[in-house]
Structure 1
Amino acid sequence: MIDEKDREIIEALQGGLPLVPAPFAQVADGLGLDEKTLMSRLADMKSRGVIRRIAAAPNHYKLGMTSNGMTVWDVEDGRVAELGSQIGALPFVTHCYERPRALPDWPYNLFAMVHGADRDEVEEKRAEIAAILGDACRAKDILYSTRILKKTGLRLKKKG
């Protein structure tokens, strides 16, 4: 459950942070709070599972990263957590996660999104991942993006 002030905080942040030197202070001021209180309430909502995170959602195309591929890997179950952590820590992997296989058609259990200026760069990065996975990887593929999907986080409808 959220109270009215939590709702106001979510509504104030759902469109993104202002591009100013102290964005949380500005948001807090607009809500009649001090920055410390805002941050405390956000931490509380996160600990209760109301929100998962506050993160940037860049437009990779505008950053010059026009080739994007979701690399998929069939990794030994006993090593997927360890290796997934290593892959997720790579500076060029924007998100990495484990998912259950959908056998017999989909043997992949580790996913890592890679961005590059072109497909050659994405393939070079994919090769780096393959080297880390080594013999623990039994199969691999890559799914290249064909369009940008709108990225949004939590959205609440305004009351009234």
Structure 2
Amino acid sequence: MSVSICRSRPAPRREADENAVPPPDAGGLDAADRAIVLATQAGLPLVPDPWGAVGREVGMSGEAVLERMRAMQERGVIRRVAAVPNHYRLGYVANGMTVWDVDDAEVERLGREVAAIEGVSHCYRRPRHLPHWPYNLFAMLHGRSREEVEHQAAVLRERLGEACRDHRILYSSRILKKTGLRLSRRAGQA
């Protein structure tokens, strides 16, 4: 599992109180939240109770860790908690980023439909860069062969219908290390 974080505005300061949560650092995290992010940013432990394992590492209950994670997500500090599979190790060696030239009036609706299709791991809209790059919808497909990816792309093409003018499949040629933003062990540095 991976935890993606983004910076948010610090919370307003409150009067000192012996039960008060320590003030947030520049990234909007108090000491406990920061400890949780540091403990999870390289991934959650693959154990039956990952929240309990993180809690033991940071000195709180698993329920408290989960509650704080949810609160950070609601505040926009954590974007998502998600599994990040290694597609190659799972046998999906033909990975193709499909790029689509879709009518701008339809791209938002169709993008949601494409994102819900099995086999699509990422789907997002990007600006066109005319005249060289007319594509505005991107969808990552994973298959055990190029033929499988091409079949998935054909299904996508059919789903996009008349709104789609053109598309390409850009196959991965090497594996890049994928990591999100990481906090430094020292407070205030990312």
TMscore range, shorter length: over 0.9
User: How many residues were matched structurally?
Assistant: 160
Distance in 2, matches of 1:90 and 1:55, equals 18
Deviation at 1:29, TM superposition (A): 2.2
Q: Larger relative contact order (C-alpha < 8 A, sep ≥ 6)? A: 1
Say whether residues 1:87 and 2:114 are aligned partners: yes
Say whether residues 1:10 and 2:37 are aligned partners: yes
Contact 1:57-1:151 at 8 Å conserved across structures: no
3-state secondary structure, aligned to 1:54? strand
Deviation at 1:35, TM superposition (A): 2.0
Match of 2:176 in 1: 149
Say whether residues 1:105 and 2:102 are aligned partners: no
Say whether residues 1:36 and 2:59 are aligned partners: no
TM-score of the superposed pair, with normalisation by structure 1: 0.95
Say whether residues 1:137 and 2:164 are aligned partners: yes
Distance in 1, matches of 2:112 and 2:121, equals 12
Contact 1:96-1:112 at 8 Å conserved across structures: yes
TM-score of the superposed pair, with normalisation by structure 2: 0.81
Could you list the structure 1 runs, at least 4 aligned residues long, displaced by more than 3 angstroms after superposition. none
Contact 2:123-2:140 at 8 Å conserved across structures: yes
Deviation at 1:94, TM superposition (A): 0.3
Structure 1 unpaired stretches of 5+? none
Distance in 1, matches of 2:79 and 2:152, equals 28
**CA deviation digits over 1:113-134, x for unaligned, max 9?**
0000110110000000001001
Contact 2:51-2:63 at 8 Å conserved across structures: no
**CA deviation digits over 1:92-124, x for unaligned, max 9?**
000101111111111111000000011011000
Say whether residues 1:62 and 2:112 are aligned partners: no
The RMSD of aligned alpha carbons is 1.2
Distance in 2, matches of 1:141 and 1:152, equals 26
Which of the two has higher C-alpha Rg?
A: 2
